[in-house]
Amino acid sequence: MSLTDLQANESKLLFHTYARYPLELTRGEGVRLFDDAGNSYLDLLSGIGVSALGYGHPAITAAITQQASTLIHTSNLFYNAVTSDLALRLTEITGLDRAFFCNSGAEAWEAAIKLARAHALLLRNEGKQIGTKILALEHSFHGRTIGAVSTTHKTAYREPFAPVMPDVVFIPHNDVEALKATFDSSFCAIAFEVLQGEGGINPISQEFLATARELCDASGALLLLDEIQSGMGRTGKWTAYQHYGIQPDVTTLAKPLAGGIPMGAMVATEEAARAFTPGMHGTTFGGNPFACAVAVAVIDAIKNEGLLAHVTEVGEYFKQQLIDLSKKHSAIMEVRGTGFMLGAEIENADLAKSILEQMMFDKHIILNRTHETVLRFLPPYLITKTDVDTTIKALDELLVAAAVVA
Ligand SMILES: *Cc1c(COP(=O)(O)O)cnc(C)c1O
């Protein structure tokens, strides 16, 4: 079927929820994707931060094949060893105590919100004064369920579905004074991304994170850190909060967790986790042996292949090359991020869009644009310095050409 026919079919048959690029991808290998004509593309997006081990990774293929022929699903009514194998790994890499498994990022975040509410109820029953409000940040993104959009700042994602969940208060990103002025005992949680993804690759400041931790410690509210995009090694550590030396009460993981098989997880301290008792929260599919086995394989491959060190080294190189490029081209306003979660802010949305399209269709390098003006790089953990050089050269050529036209 031609791309034109595909487009016509989808336009007729699917909900119009996505504006797709006119590109039909048929196959992947390593850090490369191939279209229907056999053209090869360097992938710097990993399916929005999911395919961290690239395409056709033997450890993932082996886990999928082995577990699919053994047992895919039994429900959460029965025991299966692989589920606790994964929970052990996740508690080790996050420094937290207990895991809850689900099927997506939004579901993990939804679970975190419910846990914060349930934990506050528990504290109230124990005689503590603590309310139900959740403090969230401007430019946040936490997913598309009604609970998750309630804590997501962008009005286009939230307002068409009003009334969303009440009791969410947004304050400006990294505004420590607003945090201190707003937070009080009416809040049950402070909730944010350590490194905002969708909002434009915005790192939280050490001072903001430390202040949020202190306020939660003093009041009993939970610190919920969304690591759905930044976690699982993407910044060179298992979670982005580990760069700050500050532990949350609850963290959420998803995107790369099971190598492209849909999966999410909420990981929490013993103190927070005690708020959920049997029957209070659940899912049919979550934590099935299939997804868990693949996630175990992903974590073991990241460890065995030394990928955290690789992401750190090549990520620093990538960032420095982008910074050098920004010194040459005034159209790059700022470079932000850590490891393989990088953003380059372009002076206007039209130029960012045009560069992105030329990167994809002329240079055959796949990336995306977030917050209109930010070119976002979320490559598989396997890209090399040579891939970075190829990318920088392509960006340089496009920016030189754009400057000539302007
Ligand atoms: C992608 C994302 C989500 C939502 O994950 P889904 O799997 O799309 O539901 C939540 N939080 C952050 C930070 C994300 O990047």
CA–CA gap between residue 368 and residue 390 (Å, rounded):
17
pTM over 0.95: yes
Known binding residue 99? Answer is no
Model pLDDT, residue 271: 98
Judged on CB neighbours under 10 Å (0-12, 13-18, 19+), 38 is exposed
> Which contiguous run of DSSP H or E holds residue 187?
strand 187-193
- Taking residue 205's Cβ as centre, other Cβ atoms within 10 Å add up to 14
- Per-residue pLDDT tens digits for 339-364: 999 999 999 999 999 999 999 999 99
CA–CA gap between residue 28 and residue 57 (Å, rounded):
10
CA–CA gap between residue 225 and residue 247 (Å, rounded):
9
CA–CA gap between residue 251 and residue 231 (Å, rounded):
9
Known binding residue 130? Answer is no
The verdict on the CB of residue 143 being under 6 Å from ligand 1 is yes
The verdict on the CB of residue 378 being under 6 Å from ligand 1 is no
- Spell out the domains of the chain, with CATH numbers in brackets: 3-57+306-405 (3.90.1150.10), 71-304 (3.40.640.10)
Known binding residue 274? Answer is no
| Cα-to-centroid distance, 4 and ligand 1 (Å) | 30
| Cα-to-centroid distance, 229 and ligand 1 (Å) | 7
Model pLDDT, residue 56: 98
Model pLDDT, residue 404: 84
The verdict on the CB of residue 256 being under 6 Å from ligand 1 is no
Model pLDDT, residue 150: 98
C-alpha distances out from residue 264 to 79, 219, 234, 283, 329, Å: 19, 28, 16, 11, 39
CA pseudo-torsion sign 351, 352, 358, 363: positive
The beta strands (E) that lie in 239-328 are given as 250-253, 264-268
Model pLDDT, residue 1: 85
Determine the atom of ligand 1 nearest the C-alpha atom of 109. 10
Known binding residue 249? Answer is no
The verdict on the CB of residue 142 being under 6 Å from ligand 1 is yes
Q: In which residue ranges of the chain is pLDDT below 50?
A: none
| Cα-to-centroid distance, 2 and ligand 1 (Å) | 32
